Each structure stands twice: as structure tokens, then as C-alpha cells.
Chains A and B, each alone.
Chain A
Amino acid sequence: MIWFILFCVLLFVAVLSLLVLKTVRVKNSYTGKVSFNFKGVHKILPSKLLWAVIGTFILIYCASILLPIVWMFLNSVKGDIDFELNSYGFPKKWLFENFAIVLQKFEIKTGARSYGVFDMLFNSIIYSCGNPFVSLFWIYSMAYVMSRFKWLGGKILYSLGVFLMLVSITGSSASTMIIYQKIGLYDNLYLNIIMPPSTAFSGMYFMIIYGACKSISMTYSEAAYIDGANEYRVMFTVILPMVLPTLCTIYVLTFLGLWNNYESFLVWYPSTPNLAYGLYRFQYLNAGSEGLSTPQVLAGMFMVMIPSVLLYLATQKIMKSNFVVGGLKG
């Protein structure tokens, strides 16, 4: 506890110092030289204290988010006994072979079939890449025809889409389950991936794409029509490249959600596990019975998170700039 308090105090002092230095920093615009003017620093100090407290709290929060990942990595390279005796320290011996063991041994049995790591990886890739691709294709198509042409149906569909966003119908999962079982969509991952979304003209992502399509000047389309392009050509080769950054941002966000999705597999596709569902099921149903120890399960979890974290780090800047909901006044 004393160490934690000491850590907080040091963090507070560091944040306060940075805040004060930022205020007293003076840059000469001609020479580019940086100097510090500490005159009257006692006057600005009280206003910085609150920000320093907030900054300390926020940095402690950041540490608490990073801690489980560090903890998971350190424990994923431990032996069984090392983990039991020393669960929050550094490993006595770094067992990187835990990762190789997971790749060999980790498997899930669903019905008559058993799925290895690479089968589950295949399902993860197909699901998280295919599903947003199909959904975005239909959402973009609807957004395009509703925003680029003036027709009564487009206006009606837009109003209906807004209405559906506000009216959240709950509890239809029971009905969905009955109907899906009757028509063969239940537990059929691949068929579900190629199905168009039930409301391709509603939802937050539709509204963002609709706004992006509407903001593009009609002169681009008109010029293409004059050059002899047909409707499909204008839609896919003229307008689509212009809204591609927005579509990419949504694709990445959807991909991240689906890569880590285990709940849909738990309820709707239990016989075709992806990596997230495999790990989840393994954790609750099979732990200990198939020869994988807790550190090895943690190694599996660490491997599952690598693709999504890399994708997130690579696309962070796009997300920062392209994700605004609700807009601003004025």
C-alpha cells in the first residue's frame, strides 16, 4: 500500500511539473530558443493543481488497463508451479515454448468434429473479414441510392431508418431462434456471413456513410455520365473511392468487434468456433482436462489478441479523425 501511495505522489508531482513547465515555457520565434520564465509561477499553481489531480487519476487508470496485459504476458511464459507460487512476479524461467504447446494442443470438440487452432483461425478470419465486407457493401449501396438521387422511396426509407434507430425492439431473439432453426440459418456460420443485414438503411454506420455520400458534389457524377459511364460505374469507380476512408474506418471498427466476438458463436454458431469462442469455451468447459495449464491458456489468449492490437495500432490515426457522431453546433 505504501508503495502505491508513493507511486501516486510521484505521479502527481510529475504531472504538476509538466503542467507548470508547459505554462512557463517561452519559445523565441526568431531564434527558436526555448527558455523558462518562472516569474509569477505561484499565481498559476493553484489552477494547475486540479488538472494535476485529474492527470494523476487518468494515468493510474492507464496503468490499470496496461497491467492485465503485462500480467498476462508474464504469466504466459511461466511454468505451472511457478504460476502457483509466484503469480504476480517475473517468471523464474521464461518458457516461450508455452506458445508452441498451445498451437499443438489447443482444440475444441463440437459434435463429431474437433477444431484445432488453425481451423478456428480460419473461422475468425472468414467471419471478421467477410461479415463487415458484405454488410458494408449493402449499407454503402443503400446509402448511395438514397443520398444521390431524389426519389420518394429514398425519403421514406431514410425516415424509417431514423425511426428504427430510436425504437429498439427487444426480446425478438426467441422468435429469431425459432425461425432460424426452421430455415436452416441457426448454427450455419457461412450462410450467415453472406446474408445482407436486416436493416441496411438504418444504424449509426449507415448514417455516417449516408453523410459521406451526400457531401460529394453531384458534378463528379454528372461528368462521368457525360463521358458515357453507366450507373454502376459511377457508383463503384467514381463515388466509392471518395468515401473509401470512411468505409475503411468502419470496416476496422467492425473487424475488431467481430474478431473478439464469442457471444454470437456461443448462441448462434456453436458448432463452428472462432478463436475467441474457442478460448472462452476452453476456459469454462475444458480447462485442466485437455492437458493445457493456466499459463498456456494465457499464452493462447495473448496470441488471439495480437492481430487485433496490431490492426488497432496501425489504424489509430484514421479512427481519431474519422469517427464523429452527432456533430457539433453551429
Chain B
Amino acid sequence: MENIVIKKEKMPLKRKLFIASIVTIPLLSFAFFYVYINFNSFLLAFQKIDVNENYSFVGFDNFKTFFDTILTGSDAGLAFTNSLKNFWTTFLISTPLYILFAYYIARKMPGERLLFTVVMLPSAVSTFVYALCYKKFVEVSLQDIMRSMGVFDFPQLISHPDYCNFNNLFFSVWISFGSNVLIFSNAMNAVDKEILESAMIDGANDRVQFFGIVMPLIWPTFTTYCVTGLTGMFTWSGALMTFYMYDAPRHIWGLGYYFTVTIKNTGSIGYMNYPMVATAGLFVTIISTPLVFGAKWVMNKLDKTID
């Protein structure tokens, strides 16, 4: 038998030059603003900066200090554990609600158009405008309303040390529905209506339709949501910056907030804290990467089980 050799078509020089002209600038940008900056951040995690802005290598000393802060519950360590706790609290409360709201929209229940318009409003109006309104409302009007109802010792939710974390969690969940509901409802709308109709004719109730048809079909969307959401697990800070600027109570700081407050202090004294930001960041990157890949693997396994 004659062997047929398929020769690979060679790309013309003109096209090669065209591709090069397009990719050169983005690749240079990537090399400098991503690779170099992150490499420099990696080095910074093993360095110390003194008052005169001199850099010196200190081995793993920064990591030792960081672990000490986790154990003693102070500074970066406290912010790290706060982020972790608060992320899971909001994630576990809000995710079922996003899916429920999205399903309500997709099923075209009463008021679904209003809901669709309203959930996106905080993103359009701005979370910060909402936060400031909320702040004024809680500080002034809510107190007035409570007094008119005979409650005279209602706490100031934003400034009271016992309630400020709850306030941050509540506000973050309340405001977060926008694009998350949009993603799930669009995915549910894309489910073939004929599949649901035939299931209904076969006597499937709402529960069976939801858990047996809709959820398995939108599983790739749910996986993407979970995997991308998990990347923020260790830095979650909620709306601390919006509520308090740089003066949030120390015991509710999240790691993201800690990073922002620290890098905002430029100049010799401020620079001295920069290595701790790089150290905490490197530690978070090292532990979050296998977790994210692990979560993706688990979600894909679950997907096969559902099949």
C-alpha cells in the first residue's frame, strides 16, 4: 500500500509577521508587569527593608514572623484567619441564595423581572454609594426608627466592636447578588425547555426538576463559580474599606484589607512593612493553588457521579 504523507501547511511569512506585530506588546507587558513584578514579590518575601530603604536577605525570618502572628492572633495572622472564617460564612450563606434567586428568575415566577432589574442595581449604582447610604441609614435613621418603636438601647452596628463584624458580613451578602445571580439565571435559561416540559408530563415535581435536571445541567457553571470564588478565600475583607477607610477595628481586618492599608503607607517607614505583605501573599498563593486545583478535581469527580 502506498503511504500517503500529509505535508503540514507552512504559515506564510506575512501572517507570521502579522501575528508577531499583534503579540509583541502584550507579551512584553506580561513579561514586565506580571512575571517581573511577581518575581520581585517572591524575592521581597525573603528580604528586609530598613529605614534607609536598604534591602537585605533574611532567609525564612519573615515566614517565621508571619506564623507567629497566626498563632498569637495579631496583625497579618489575625487578618488571615478572619478572611478564612468570613469567606466561608458568606460563601455558605450566599451561594444557595444565588441559586434560589436565579431559579426563581428562570422559572418566571411573579416579580421575576423586578428581581432581575433590582439584583444588579448595587453593581450599577456602586457598592460604595450603597455602603455610604447604608452607613448613614444605620447611624441615623435606624436609631430614630428603633427609638420610635420604644427600643432605646439599639447598638450602633457599624462602630460597636461586638457587632461590626456581623455588620460587615451582612452588608457583603446583601449587596453581592448582582452578577452571581445573573450568571446562574442565564445558565438556567439556557436549559432546554423541552427537557423540563417532558419531565413535568412524566410527573416530576419542582424538587426533582431542580435537583435532577437543572443542577446537573448547570454543573459546569457551578464549578466555574466555586473554583474562581475559592481563589479569594484567604484575602476576603468584605466592605471594610468602604465603611472605615483606613480605620477599621483591628479585630475584624481581613488579609486583603491588611494588604491595602500596608501598601498605602509609602515612604521609608511604610516600606519596612512591605516584605510582610509579600510573605503573606506568597504563603497564600502556595496553599491556595493546590486547594483550587483540588476543588476543580473534586467538582469534576462529582460531575461524573451525577452523570
When distances are taken between beta carbons in the complex, the residues of chain A under 8 Å from B149 are: 1
* Bound Cα distance A64, B177 (Å): 13
Q: Across the interface, do B133 and A301 meet the contact criterion of CB distance under 8 Å? A: yes
A198, B116: Cα distance in complex, Å: 34
Name B245's closest neighbour in chain A (CB-CB): A284
Contact A231 B14 (CB under 8 A): yes
Q: Size of chain B's interface in residues, with CB distance under 8 A?
A: 107
B126 and A328 contact, CB distance less than 8 A:
no
Residues of A within 8 A of B18 (CB): 145, 231-232
Selecting from B157-165, B196-204, B278-286, the interface stretch reads B278-286
Complex CA–CA separation, A162 to B41 (angstroms):
22
A62 CB to nearest chain B CB (Å): 4
Closest Cβ neighbor of A69 among chain B residues? B125
Q: List chain B residues, Cβ under 8 A from A22.
A: 110
Contact of A175 with B41 at beta-carbon distance under 8 Å, contacts A64-B174, A87-B140, A326-B223 already known: yes
> Are A328 and B190 in contact, with the CB atoms below 8 A?
yes
| A58 with B101: CB separation less than 8 A | yes
- One digit per residue, 1 when the CB lies within 8 angstroms of any chain B CB and 0 when it does not, for chain A 225-246 equals 0000011100000000000000
Q: Which residue of B lies closest to A168 (CB)?
A: B231
> B84 near A: Cβ within 8 Å?
no
**Chain A interface residue number, banded:** 35 or more
Does A328 lie within 8 Å of B186, measured CB to CB?
A: no
Question: Are A71 and B234 interface neighbours, CB within 8 A?
Answer: no
Chain A residues with CB under 8 A of B63: none
Q: How far is the CA of A144 from the CA of B288 in the complex (A)?
A: 32
Contact of A66 among B25, B118, B284, B289 (CB under 8 A): B118
B285 touches A168 (CB 8 A): yes
Q: Is B33 an interface residue (CB 8 A)?
A: yes
Whether the pair B25, A69 counts as a contact (CB closer than 8 A) is no
Interface string of A291-306 (1 = CB under 8 A from B): 0001000100100110
Query: Is A123 in the interface zone, CB < 8 Å from B?
Result: no
Q: Are A175 and B40 in contact (CB under 8 A)?
A: yes
Which A residues touch B264, using CB under 8 A?
Answer: 266-267
CA distance A206 to B121 in the complex (A): 25
**Chain B residue with the shortest CB-CB distance to A172:** B41
Indicate with 1 or 0, residue by residue over A100-131, a CB within 8 angstroms of chain B CB atoms.
Answer: 00000000000000000000000000000000
| Contact (Cβ within 8 A) B123 A62 | no
Query: In the complex, what distance in Å separates the CA atom of A47 from the CA atom of B107?
Result: 15
Q: Which residues of B contact A141 (CB under 8 A)?
A: 22, 26
On whether A68 and B134 interact (CB within 8 A), knowing A145-B19, A170-B284, the answer reads yes
How would residues 12 to 31 of chain B score, 1 for a CB under 8 Å from any chain A CB and 0 otherwise? 00110011001101100110
Is A260 in the interface zone, CB < 8 Å from B?
yes
* Closest B residue, CB atoms, query A321: B186
Known contacts being A149-B11, A198-B34, is A68 close to B137, with CB within 8 Å? Answer: yes
Interface readout for B264-288 with A: 1 if CB under 8 Å, 0 if not?
1010000100110111111011001
* B residues at A contact (CB < 8 Å): 11, 14-15, 18-19, 22-23, 25-26, 29-30, 33-34, 36-38, 40-41, 44-45, 100-101, 104, 109-111, 114-130, 132-134, 136-137, 140-141, 144-145, 149, 174, 177, 179, 182-183, 186-187, 190-191, 205-206, 216-225, 227-228, 231-232, 234-235, 241-242, 245, 255, 259-260, 262-264, 266, 271, 274-275, 277-282, 284-285, 288-289, 292-293, 296, 303
16 contacts between A and B (CB under 8 A): A18-B110, A62-B114, A69-B121, A145-B23, A171-B280, A174-B41, A175-B38, A175-B41, A175-B44, A201-B26, A201-B30, A260-B127, A284-B245, A301-B132, A313-B124, A328-B217
10 smallest CB-CB distances across A and B, nearest first, come from A171-B281, A260-B126, A326-B224, A312-B124, A175-B41, A198-B33, A326-B221, A168-B231, A174-B274, A231-B18
User: Given known contacts A170-B235, A170-B282, what 9 new A-B pairs fall within 8 Å (CB)?
Assistant: A58-B101, A66-B121, A142-B23, A171-B285, A173-B259, A174-B262, A305-B126, A320-B182, A329-B216
